Amino acid sequence: MASSEVASALQAVQSAPASDKQSRYSALLQSIVASGTTANVAANYGAYVEALLEDSLGVVALRPLLTAFVEQYRNIKDIDVKIEVGERVIELLQEKQTGPQFEEQDSSIKDVLADAYEMQEDWRRSAQTLGKITLDSTQKTISADDKARVWIRIVRCYLEDEDPTSALTYLNRVKNIIHSVQDPESKLHFQLSQARISDSQRAFLDASQAYYSLSHETVIEEEERTNSLAAAITCAVLAPAGPLRAKMLAKLYKDERANQTEDFSILEKMFLDRLLTPAEVKAFAAKLQPHHLAKTSDGSTVLDKAVLEHNLLGASKLYNNIGFDQLGDLLGTDPEKAEGYAAKMLEQGRLAGYIDQIDRLIFFEGEGSGERKTGHAERIVGRELRRWDANVQGLAEEVEKVTTMIQSQYPEFYASQMVH
């Protein structure tokens, strides 16, 4: 409830002549601001705005009064008061159905309220408040830059709240207008948001590429570029082993800045297809974020899976074939799990070879193509057919050579045979 002094002052202003109301409301607002240390300051601000909206002031007089209130509201130091006032004023504007005439003031209040939520690290409520800002105004044209600024801020809030799904919804809105955005800062935040969402959703190859692109942006500070490069290395390490990851690892390893990062040693081992030791994996895991260590469907972490697949790929460079038991010992897991990982990588084309389940052996056949396979039998048939085609082609070429020789040495005989 508003203080008795403010309540009395509001009654006096409302009963004053229409010509005096604007100046008297302005003076009362200054009085409320000056008494900002009182216990019921939030109630005073709420009562003031409620009186403004209930009075018979016209749009021409009311708009500057609301604008002046927004400026004073922006300067409130106490975060709890700012949140209480902001929530009440937004509620009043919605109840009074002020319409498009005061969209600018409504948007400004929501923007300031979102700032207050962020200062309390209430990221979800900040995102939800920003999401209610009108960006399809009938009163003025809102630029692509202004829309992108709001939507990217919502994306960042949802990412801080560890909700990449909601963040992606707003990032897709930015994608539709990013070609029209001129602000370089918004473009950078868009790239960073793309990388963070891919990272959160475990699309590690996409995230690595996005972080790597950011590491080349000269408009950001050197430290931030180094951090982006380190993030690109982390995501490349966690990506599924195979030809695509190998290309990304090569790109990162050949970057002259890579040896300045903490994880260069593990990057080097992965690029060179060397097996990783448990001690190296443990040291790397200590620097990862929680979602990098999340459990997968088989109970292992994302990192465990990445390391196991990498070591399996490394084993394929050391052996022509290996038994299930020996492979399990090499990878530090049970034989059935080792076979399962190998089968999946073979099926997806990330590993070349086939499995002999009768003799419990895995045969390796060089580099994976990256293309999904349908089975070893089909590959054998395909190889035999290609060999048959090559033999037929070779035979046809030899017949043609003989025919040419006959034509050259015995032209009359050749001509007589062609007539028949």
pLDDT-derived band at 10 (thresholds 50, 70, 90) equals: confident
Q: Is the pLDDT of residue 280 over 70?
A: yes
Asked whether residue 38 carries a pLDDT value surpassing 60, the answer given is no
> How confident is the model over 225-264, as pLDDT tens digits?
999 999 999 999 999 888 888 899 999 999 999 998 999 9
Confidence band, pLDDT 50/70/90 cuts, at residue 382: low
Q: What pLDDT does residue 383 have?
A: 55
- pLDDT-derived band of residue 404, with 50, 70 and 90 as boundaries? confident
pLDDT band per the 50, 70, 90 thresholds, residue 306: confident
pLDDT at 96 over 50: yes
Q: Where are the domains of the chain?
A: 1-122, 383-420
The pLDDT tens digits of the residues spanning 65-94 come to 999 999 999 988 889 989 999 999 999 888
Mean predicted lDDT score pLDDT of the chain: 85
User: Which structure tokens are listed for 303?
Assistant: 């990192």
Per-residue confidence (pLDDT) for residue 377, from 0 to 100: 46
Give pTM, 2 decimals. Answer: 0.71
Q: Is the pLDDT of residue 297 over 80?
A: no
pLDDT digits (tens, 9 = 90+) for 334-361: 888 888 888 888 887 778 888 888 888 8
Using CA atoms, how far apart are residues 379 and 385, in angstroms rounded to an integer?
10
